[in-house]
Structure 1
Amino acid sequence: MTHGNGTEVTDFFLLGFSAQHRFWHVLFIVFLLIYLTSMVGNIGMILLIKADFRCQTPMYFFLQYLAFVDICYTSAITPKTLQNIISENKSISFMGCMMQLWVYAKFATNDHYLLAAMAMDHYEAIYNPLHYSTVMSQTVCILLVAGSYVIGSVNSSVHTGLTFSLYICKSHIINHFYDAPQILAFSCSDIGTNIMLLVVFVGFNLMFNMSVVIFSYIYILSAILKMSSTAGREKSFLTCASHLTAVTVFYGTLSYMYLQPHSNNYQNMKFASIFYGIVILMLNPLIYSLRNKEVKEALKVIQKKFFLIGPKLLNSANQSIQYM
């Protein structure tokens, strides 16, 4: 990538929250707490699913991969954001900028397809329960997850490759906390191809996955309303509640970001990006752990094991000290 004066662009500058420099202590603490909560919650969710046999179902198979994707997704931008808040040097290298965009776009795409796969899983479990084990076999689940990774990699590679082959002639100062939104605006090259492919790829991913989620829940709702048992209805609602909550928050924020006019306050868009790219990834493990009976029971089992093993380990340590 070259700059307008003929020199090669070696770095960019992420202004981030420079306008709020007086509150950098507060911003740093808030972002750090959100990031740590997100990491602990998602890693804990993965370990919890691995540890308890009751969580070895397709729903939790997808959930553990969603937690892994969320870890990578938030790690693409949050550590650099934290560094920029406390550091006067807000530069990011060309390669660092390119890798940040690639990782961010890849795992954002993965997130969309995993949420759609989870909606399909709920549909099969409630609308077609007799064939559920056959349709949602281990092979099918693995293929759905692998497909999300392949599509995410292709989408991010095309977008990143085209973006960073542009001729930069206006600026390399990015008024954001990550690099995606403004690089196209800095180019004096023809960005028609970039815009077309961005609309095609992003539009297809959004419309396809939202359609899968919406139609899945239409059929799920119709199946629930036909149930004669109140207990069956309640169980079905509880099965879908956590996923539906996560999907509503995820796509609600995304719609706010992309459906409002570009003339709106840019600071509002920046804070919407924070919610979409950082805060939601902290909320996901909280939503799924608070709304799932199996997760709550698994937590109780692990707590009991910890309280049983803990005193034994302590007694063994005391005995070892006495023999020394």
Structure 2
Amino acid sequence: MMNEENLTIITEFILVGLSGDSHLQFLLFLIFLCIYIITVLVNTTVIILYRISPNLHTPMYFYLANFSFLEICYITSTVPKMLSTFLSKHKTISFSGCATQMYCFLLLGGTECYMLAVMAYDRYHAICHPLLYTINMNRRICIRLIGGSLLVGAINSLIHTVLTFTLPFCRNTVNHFFCDIPPLLKLACIDTWVNETAIFLISGCVIVGSFILTMISYTHIISTILRIRSTSGRNKSFSTCASHFTVVTIFYGSGIFMYFRPKSSYSMDQDRMIAVMYTIIAPLLNPFIYSLRNRDVKIAVKKLMIKLSSSKTL
């Protein structure tokens, strides 16, 4: 039952952040500012390389460029506000600002889930049906798959945001560095079984569903690779998929750990560290794992550097 005496109208929330130690605030600010700048610059570089390099105008790099754009938006939905709280005495976020942050974060996170499945589907066609690859993954199909991923993310985020912010809150101190579902459920004055059920069912369709689709693609990919007689051909195919599988493991592993547990087992100190992994560290590492170690991207970078150096000499 809801305790009406404790029920207050919440107009803003207080974000606890990563640490309550005031001596660490400026150091954390510098660390995460550097991570944010590097992440934005590296992902922007991937997008620019795709735009200016004709050899990268393939479905795979089209998806990588769009994924890099999502990563920029994804990290921007949480880190700038976190940086401001490091330097501010009043670590508050408005009620509407908190709802907007949650919606954007869940929208981008859900979209990325299905983008990873789409990228696995792309690798499936490239390895299992190479002769029909350009037909099966033409521009129109690529755009539709990205649009479908965005639609799934939008529906998922809208449902969770509405369910969360129609709850009555008794407290306004969010034990996290951004407005996520688990810490906000702890502030509710009523039982949140509806929200927890929605997390298991709806988020299950998004996270687990996209993960299953990804694994189905990889099952076909691996069986096809194992039938390749050439050792060099097998190694090349495995190296093409290894980077994507690494990103899948990091993203889905941390996401499943965060959202598929009963409320009673939430540990906010532990959850904040896990959240740092998939909201901040993963967007930093992904372009290095995916793109900048790729041979075609390295060639594009070298060509770009030669153009830049030649233009300076002129």
Shared fold (TM-score, shorter chain, > 0.5): yes
- 2:303 equivalent in structure 1: 301
Unaligned residue ranges in structure 2 (runs of 5+): none
**Matched residues in 2 for 1:252 and 1:290: separation?**
23
Deviations 1:129-187 (A, max 9, x none): 1222221111111000001111111111111112111111x211111101112222222
The amino acid that maps onto 1:274 is V
- 2:274 equivalent in structure 1: 272
Q: Is the 8 A contact 1:24 1:86 kept in 2?
A: yes
**Matched residues in 1 for 2:258 and 2:195: separation?**
20
Within a 5 Å distance, the mapping from 1:170-209 to structure 2 comes to 170-180=170-180, 181-209=182-210
Number of aligned residues? 309
| Identity among equivalent pairs (%) | 38
Inter-CA distance 6–288: structure 2 relative to 1 (3 Å threshold): closer
The amino acid that maps onto 1:75 is T
Q: Is the 8 A contact 1:114 1:145 kept in 2?
A: yes
Matched, 1:235 2:228: no
Q: Is the 8 A contact 1:238 1:292 kept in 2?
A: no
Deviations 1:39-74 (A, max 9, x none): 001111111111101111111111111111111111
**Matched residues in 2 for 1:51 and 1:4: separation?**
62
Q: Once superposed, what is the RMSD of the aligned Cα atoms?
A: 1.8
What is the DSSP-based 3-state SS (H/G/I as helix, E as strand, rest coil) of the residue aligned with 2:115? helix
- 2:17 equivalent in structure 1: 16
- 1:144 equivalent in structure 2: 145
**Matched residues in 2 for 1:271 and 1:5: separation?**
31
Within a 5 Å distance, the mapping from 1:22-41 to structure 2 comes to 22-41=23-42
Shift of 1:235: 2.1
Inter-CA distance 258–187: structure 2 relative to 1 (3 Å threshold): closer
**Matched residues in 2 for 1:6 and 1:228: separation?**
69
Unaligned residue ranges in structure 1 (runs of 5+): 313-324
Inter-CA distance 155–4: structure 2 relative to 1 (3 Å threshold): farther
Q: Is the 8 A contact 1:12 1:97 kept in 2?
A: yes
Deviations 1:65-103 (A, max 9, x none): 111111111101100101111111101011110100000
Inter-CA distance 191–260: structure 2 relative to 1 (3 Å threshold): closer
- 2:116 equivalent in structure 1: 115
The amino acid that maps onto 1:46 is I
The amino acid that maps onto 1:275 is M
Matched, 1:285 2:287: yes
- 1:85 equivalent in structure 2: 86
TM-score (normalizing by structure 1): 0.90
Deviations 1:188-221 (A, max 9, x none): 2453332222221111111111111112111111
Q: Is the 8 A contact 1:238 1:291 kept in 2?
A: no
**Matched residues in 1 for 2:109 and 2:266: separation?**
24
**Matched residues in 2 for 1:93 and 1:120: separation?**
40
Q: Is the 8 A contact 1:242 1:291 kept in 2?
A: no
